[in-house]
Chain A
Amino acid sequence: MTLALVTVALLLSFSAADEPGPVTADDGAFNVEIQHTDLGQVSGSTDESGDAGPIRDSGLDAICVATAMTLGEDIYSFCDIPPDEVVALTPDMVAVAFARIAPPPPTLQIQPPNGRTLVNLDTNFYAETGELDRVLTLLGQRVELHIVAATFTWRFGDGDSLTTDQPGSPYPNLEVTHRYLAKGHVTPSVDTTYTAQFRVSGGPWRAVPGSVTVTGAPVGLEVLTATPTLVGYDRR
């Protein structure tokens, strides 16, 4: 009797295993089954054709723009999404747009000015950043991007570097300083890493995945030594 019950139970379990499960929403999600290829920075592919300019802030779907640029097509005629079409806008899509509208590099300011400083003097550095908010239209939706300079990596040109979360400030507020220990010509620079938040059609702010680092241009700087020189004497 016990054996018969076990046999029946096994048969039932095999039968249950053959039964397909219920239809779920996942059964209709076909795009997930297709290989996804990240075009990344498409400038590489367009550079090969020799006709690539800087990627424009087109206000269009960035993925579509990447596709159009890969094709060598004009992005405006290629990416006209019908207005009655609903396409989900994901943070990853916004991240692609964010990467393609990289903020301008900050301007590196050095004090003392005029490209000269002294050995063993606290040389002051600060960065001036431009407008960091953007409004785009992606997939027919208004997307506001609030871009923040999150970190600054200072390269002083003598092998030393420093990362701060502040851009520094002009004299007399010395926040980012460096002492050169030897005379010579150096080329300091600052790299700025930006993060961003976005909101769609006035909705809640959400974080954009990832960050964008903008490499700053090096600035020439002469590091000089100074010798005390008596220039006057009062004998009274």
Chain B
Amino acid sequence: MARTPLLAGLLVGLVLLSGCADDPEPKFEDWEPSATASSEPAPEPSMPASSTPTPAQNLSPRSLVDAWLTAWTHALRSGDVDDVRVLSSPDCVSCSRLTTKVEALYAKGGRLDTEGWAPTRVARAPGSRDETPTFVMQVRQARQTLYGADGNIVEVTPAATVPMRMTLVAAGEGWILGTLEILE
């Protein structure tokens, strides 16, 4: 249940951010992970409860990319993978593996300290189709500290930048993540 306010706040924020639709070329500025998303109380949703959006409702394909990575960052920092699942297709194998892994980590009593993952230079991939929008991006993975159940550091992973491709699929009136790939 705790995920609902977070997701709603996230979606509201992204909808507001994506409201400036006059610009045909989105500005792909470096996007800082939402450190406040999990370290501060989630904002109250500003829309009526009756219109609580489904995951992909009102989100443009581009906004879904941000939403998914924000949800994943929240999952890394908390072990709560509900939002990632809501924003992912059941057919997204990579998504399932990621959520399973982070759940298993927190079930063992471990935890992660990280600013999470953030997209940079997101661009629509050539050949992307309107029914399955595809984006290619560099994902900046912040430095990550892995703690064991005893509170001791197990491993520190330095920051990295990984080229990724996200392919979205339609869900209701919006979008969810259908495929997540690392490009090599």
| A→B interface (CB under 8 Å) | 20-25, 27-31, 33-39, 45, 48-49, 63-64, 66-67, 70-73, 78, 81, 85-88, 92, 96
CB pair A37–B183 under 8 Å, yes or no, is yes
CB pair B104–A87 under 8 Å, yes or no, is no
CB pair B104–A27 under 8 Å, yes or no, is yes
Q: Mark B115-133, 1 if CB is under 8 A from A, else 0.
A: 0000001010111000000
Q: Mark B156-167, 1 if CB is under 8 A from A, else 0.
A: 011111111100
Contacts of A49 in B (CB 8 A): 126
- List 15 additional A-B contacts (Cβ < 8 Å) besides A20-B104, A37-B184, A70-B125: A27-B154, A28-B146, A34-B98, A35-B93, A35-B179, A39-B183, A66-B183, A67-B138, A71-B123, A72-B126, A73-B121, A73-B123, A85-B160, A86-B160, A87-B158
CA separation between A28 and B105, bound complex, in Å?
Answer: 8
Contacts of A24 in B (CB 8 A): 154
Contacts of B181 in A (CB 8 A): 34-37
B112 at interface, CB cutoff 8 A: yes
Interface size class of B (residues with CB under 8 A): 35 or more
CB pair B184–A27 under 8 Å, yes or no, is no
Partner of B161, one of A22, A37, A85: A85
CA separation between A195 and B53, bound complex, in Å?
Answer: 56
CB pair A34–B180 under 8 Å, yes or no, is yes
CB pair A31–B146 under 8 Å, yes or no, is no
User: Which of A20, A23, A88 has the largest number of chain B CB atoms within 10 A?
Assistant: A23
CB pair B155–A30 under 8 Å, yes or no, is no
Chain B, residue nearest A29 (CB): B157
CB pair A64–B138 under 8 Å, yes or no, is yes
CB pair B160–A36 under 8 Å, yes or no, is no
Contacts of A63 in B (CB 8 A): 163, 183-184
Shortest C-beta distance, A180 to chain B (Å), equals 46
CB pair B101–A87 under 8 Å, yes or no, is no
B26 at interface, CB cutoff 8 A: no
5 closest pairs, A vs B, by CB? A23-B110, A33-B97, A28-B146, A23-B148, A25-B155
Shortest C-beta distance, A4 to chain B (Å), equals 32
CB pair A27–B105 under 8 Å, yes or no, is yes
CB pair A23–B94 under 8 Å, yes or no, is no
Partner of B125, one of A29, A34, A64, A71: A71
CB pair B97–A67 under 8 Å, yes or no, is no
CA separation between A72 and B147, bound complex, in Å?
Answer: 41
Partner of A23, one of B136, B146, B157, B180: B146
A-B contact pairs, 14 of them (CB 8 A): A28-B146, A34-B164, A34-B181, A36-B184, A37-B181, A38-B184, A39-B183, A63-B163, A66-B183, A70-B126, A71-B126, A71-B136, A78-B121, A87-B161
Chain B, residue nearest A87 (CB): B160
Say yes or no: A86-B148 contact (C-beta < 8 A), given A20-B104, A70-B126. Answer: no
Partner of A22, one of B121, B149, B182, B183: B149
CA separation between A66 and B138, bound complex, in Å?
Answer: 12
B35 at interface, CB cutoff 8 A: no
Say yes or no: A20-B160 contact (C-beta < 8 A), given A28-B144, A33-B94. Answer: no
CB pair A34–B182 under 8 Å, yes or no, is yes
CA separation between A92 and B162, bound complex, in Å?
Answer: 15
Say yes or no: A35-B182 contact (C-beta < 8 A), given A23-B109, A27-B110. Answer: yes
Shortest C-beta distance, A198 to chain B (Å), equals 18
Shortest C-beta distance, A50 to chain B (Å), equals 11
Contacts of A27 in B (CB 8 A): 101, 104-105, 108, 110, 146, 154
CB pair A28–B155 under 8 Å, yes or no, is yes
Contacts of A92 in B (CB 8 A): 184
